[in-house]
Structure formats: structure tokens, C-alpha cells
Chains A and B, each alone.
Chain A
Amino acid sequence: MGDSWRQSPLTGIGVLFGVTLAGLLLLPFFALAISTPASDLLEGATHPLFASALFLSLRTTLTSLSLTVVFGTPLAWWLASSSSKTARVTEALMGLPIVIPPAVVGVALLQTFGREGLLGPALGSVGIALPFTEISVVLAQIVVSAPFFIQAGASAFREVRPEMLIVARTLGGSPPVAFLRVALPIALPGLLVGASLAWARALGEFGATLLFAGNMPGRTQTMPLAIFYALESDVRLAIVFSLVLAAVGILLLVTLRFFPALRNFMRGGNA
């Protein structure tokens, strides 16, 4: 094609490497998709563990996502608009849960909210024990997933030029009006991408949840934990769970990919 400037003497080997890696990334999903006959799928889907894990996953991830968006939007806005050193340091620190292994996050959460943890005794004195409850599932999901929303949100809000907010004010808008009617709509696509990534991450959360919330069917056993549990007893069930999670992921990827086109279409396609 017209991309001849990209040619290099290594092209042959490069193609081979690239195809190998791409194959390695896609082959497992292909194998997963063809591994189970439909009858087994039905059996897995009607298994009592399936519905309870599915609903627990949906309930906890939607809760953690809502909390992430409500608390994370103002934080992202501040990170994008402040030029202070505190903001830069905070922004860097907010990336910690992305680079720290989830198992470590789980241990850290226990050290914070566990009976012997930093806040444990204080919470215990008012009769609250968080570990191994549904709340702990949500907390673990927030800690591992919120950084994706915060980072995407901060870069989305950086797209909003300060002059636009000044103009909105000179046109009679109060600061909340400038934020809600100018900054938020301009940043919305980026915020949605961040929320989708955060949700995907929360839905897949395993390590931190296992350590901090345990793996109790019906209480803290989300879908990824149910896969782990089912592998020991009923592989078909594990595969059904896996297919559902993979389908959600694919759906999310497709939506994000086509989101800009969708948005233009909804605006009346006058682009």
C-alpha cells in the first residue's frame, strides 16, 4: 500500500513475530469458544452457582462503578485543572494499583480493614467487620479499577480548554453550569471510555477479592472466583462462566471501538 516508508530489511522476521504474538493472544479465545457443545453450555448455565455468581458480579461491579464515577469525576477534574505539585504527585500515586499486583492489594486491604488492620479496631468498636463481606468485594473492585477511570477522566478533562469555561462564564453561566454544560459534555467520551475500562477491570477482579473477601458462594463469590472454584469440580461450568465474561469483554471492546461513529450518528450525522 502507500506505507512503503515503513518497510525495513527486517520485514520478513517482523511479520513472523507479529503473527506469532497475535496468534498467541487470540488462539486461547478461539479454543474456549469451540471447546464446549451447546448441551453442556445449557447445563452449566442452569447450575445453581451460575446465577448467584452472575448476579453478585453484576451487583458489586455496578456498585463499585457508580461509586468510582461519583467520587472519581471530581478527582479527575481537579487533577486536570490544577497545576500544583500536590496534583501531580496525587496523579502519579493514583496509578499505584495498576502496577501493584492484585494479590498485594488484597493483603494491603486486609492490613487496612482487617480485624488487626489499621482501621479494623475502630470499625470493630462500632460493630463493623468488612472482610469477607459483599462490601469488601466492592472495596477491592474500587481500588483496582478506579485508577483506570481517574486516569482516563483526567486526560478527558484536559481536552476542555480553559477559554471555553471562561466564555461559558461570560455568557452568564455559573461555575456549576460551565462544568455541567461545557466541561462534562466535552469530556464525556473519554469519561465513558474510562468507566468502561474500570468496569471491565472490576468484573475481572480476582486476586484482591480472593484475599480480602474470600471465595464464599452466594456471598463473595464473583464470576472470576466461581471459575476458579468450578475448575476443581465441573470444568463445563468454568467454561460457561468464561464464555460469559469473554462475551462481555468483546461487547465492551466493540462498543468502545465504534463509539465515536455512534456518537456522531446520534448527533444527527451532520459531520
Chain B
Amino acid sequence: MTSWQVMVRARRGELDLDVAFEGDAQPIALVGPNGSGKTSVLRAIAGVFALRDARITVGDTILEDTSSGVRVPIEERRIGYVPQGFALFPHLTVLENVEFGLSTGKNRLPPEERSRRALQMLSDLNCASLARRSVEHLSGGEKQRIALARSLVLEPGLLLLDEPLAALDATLRRTLRKFLAERLRIFRGPSITVTHDVRDVAALGAQVVALENGRVVQQGPLSLIQQRPANEFLAEFVGAD
């Protein structure tokens, strides 16, 4: 069982970030109003910007500990990051996107092995037929799967998903929500998903961590938030069901 913990204090423009939460293999849903610091938390965990005070661990690995001066660079954190809009590499094919992580750094593999694993991952996600396509003309749902495949192929220690279902239309979102929940179960590793939709939380069976102005205002199972929402945003959030 992989446990992890995040404690981050940092200043990001107007936002004063000061959060601490932890978890295990159960997915976490990070919720909160716009500007509450959700994306900043994900990027802090990924190691994108300098933190004033932080301790981030995944399993036995310390990724960042300002008190002892440990700061593992982004490329060595084994963190999977799927940003909003997916950020697929537009100049590469689907297969090349998925192979990217296997072609550089510590995960570098020989070319044949690279394509074998990437193709395997693509067929696990039911998109092997897209392998030779350019990513520029994929549908939103296809892009989401490719971005997920690109991260999962490296077997990350922690998966960070920033609004993975936001860019999709309503019907597609329902299908892909089920798909995502299933993939996260198969992945078994810990994950943090930023979402604006309480149905995502329910489908993923996630613990909720709720942010407001860079602080954690409530955390726990969805049932707790439903019974005693800590603020208006959360009341609205669970009421939308």
C-alpha cells in the first residue's frame, strides 16, 4: 500500500498556498472554487516551482523536504501529470507522444521495446488504432486517453490529473468518467484529480480534499461533505447532484 503526504507552503502571485494532506492508493479529488490553488498544488507536487516550506513524500521516497534541503528535480519524481487541455506534443504522432517518456532520462529503453510498451499501453486504453495519427486532429476523448497513456506507460508513483473531463461534452464525459474510474482502479497507484463535478468524485470513489484561498477547508469521504459541507462552495458542489 503506497502512502503519500503533501505539505506545501508557497506564494504564487496573489495566492498564499498553505496546505497539508495525505493519502494512500484511494484516489483524491481536489475541489474548490477557481483561484483556490488546485492547479498550484498539483504543480508544487510535480516540482515545477520553488517552495518556501515543503515536505512531499511518496511511499518511502522523499521528493521534497525544505528542512533537510532535499529537492528532487521534476524529471526524477516519477510523477504523472495530465494538465488541463492535456498538452499533447503537437509535432509528434500518438505513438511518439506515448513513447516520449521511454526515450529519455532514467526510463530510456531501446526503440523496439519502447514501441512495444507504448503500443501495449495504447491497446489497453482501446486506442491502438490511433498510433500513427497526428495528435492535432484527435477528438477530446481521444486526447484524454492518449495523455493518460503517456503518463501511465511510465508507471508513475503518483498520478496528477487536472480537470481531465472538463473539455468534453456531456455524453462523452459520462462515458469517459467510467473509463477513467476503471483505469485508476487498474493503475492501483495513488492519484489526485482536480474536478468541478461531484459525479467525478462519486465515480472515482475518491476522498475529497477541499481548498479555499490556498487552504484546506475540509477533507474526508464524499458522505461527510454531503452531510456537513464546510462552506457555501461545497454545499453548492454536493447539491448539484
What residues make up the interface of A, taking CB atoms closer than 8 Å to B?
161, 163-164, 166-174, 177, 181-182, 185-186, 188, 267-268, 270-271
**Residue numbers in A under 8 Å from B180 (CB-CB):** none
Q: In the complex, which of the residues B43, B48, B104, B133 contacts A171, with contact meaning CB atoms closer than 8 Å?
A: B104
Q: Is the interface of B mostly helix, strand, loop or mixed?
A: mixed
User: Would B133 and A270 count as touching, CB distance under 8 A?
Assistant: yes
Known contacts: A166-B74, A166-B81, A172-B75. The answer to whether A177 contacts B104 by CB under 8 A is: yes
Bound-complex Cα distance A188 to B43 (A): 27
- B134 in the interface (beta carbon within 8 A): yes
Chain A residue nearest in CB terms to B91: A185
Lowest 4 A-B CB distances belong to which pairs?
A172-B105, A171-B101, A169-B74, A163-B83
Number of interface residues of B (CB under 8 A): 36
Known contacts: A163-B85, A181-B104, A186-B90. The answer to whether A171 contacts B137 by CB under 8 A is: no
**Residue numbers in A under 8 Å from B209 (CB-CB):** none
**Residue numbers in A under 8 Å from B32 (CB-CB):** none
Known contacts: A172-B101, A270-B132. The answer to whether A167 contacts B75 by CB under 8 A is: no
Interface string of B95-118 (1 = CB under 8 A from A): 000001100111110000000000
Q: In the complex, which of the residues B43, B151, B154 contacts A166, with contact meaning CB atoms closer than 8 Å?
A: B43
Q: In the complex, which of the residues B81, B83, B89 contacts A182, with contact meaning CB atoms closer than 8 Å?
A: B89
- B235 in the interface (beta carbon within 8 A): no
Q: Is the interface of A mostly helix, strand, loop or mixed?
A: helix
User: Would A171 and B150 count as touching, CB distance under 8 A?
Assistant: yes
**Residue numbers in B under 8 Å from A177 (CB-CB):** 104-105
- B77 in the interface (beta carbon within 8 A): yes
**Residue numbers in B under 8 Å from A170 (CB-CB):** 46, 74-75, 77, 79-81, 151, 156
Q: In the complex, which of the residues A163, A171, A174, A188 contacts B100, with contact meaning CB atoms closer than 8 Å?
A: A171
Bound-complex Cα distance A169 to B73 (A): 9
Q: In the complex, which of the residues B89, B136, B156 contacts A271, with contact meaning CB atoms closer than 8 Å?
A: B136
Q: In the complex, which of the residues A167, A186, A270, A271 contacts B83, with contact meaning CB atoms closer than 8 Å?
A: A167
Chain B residue nearest in CB terms to A270: B134
**Residue numbers in B under 8 Å from A166 (CB-CB):** 43, 46, 48, 74, 81, 83, 87
Count chain B CB atoms within 10 A of each CB in A169, A173, A174, A188 and give the residue with the most.
Answer: A169
Bound-complex Cα distance A268 to B76 (A): 34
- Beyond contacts A163-B83, A173-B104, A186-B89: 19 other A-B pairs, Cβ-Cβ < 8 A, are A164-B87, A166-B83, A166-B87, A167-B82, A167-B87, A168-B89, A170-B79, A170-B81, A171-B101, A171-B151, A172-B104, A172-B154, A173-B105, A181-B104, A185-B91, A186-B91, A267-B134, A270-B132, A271-B136
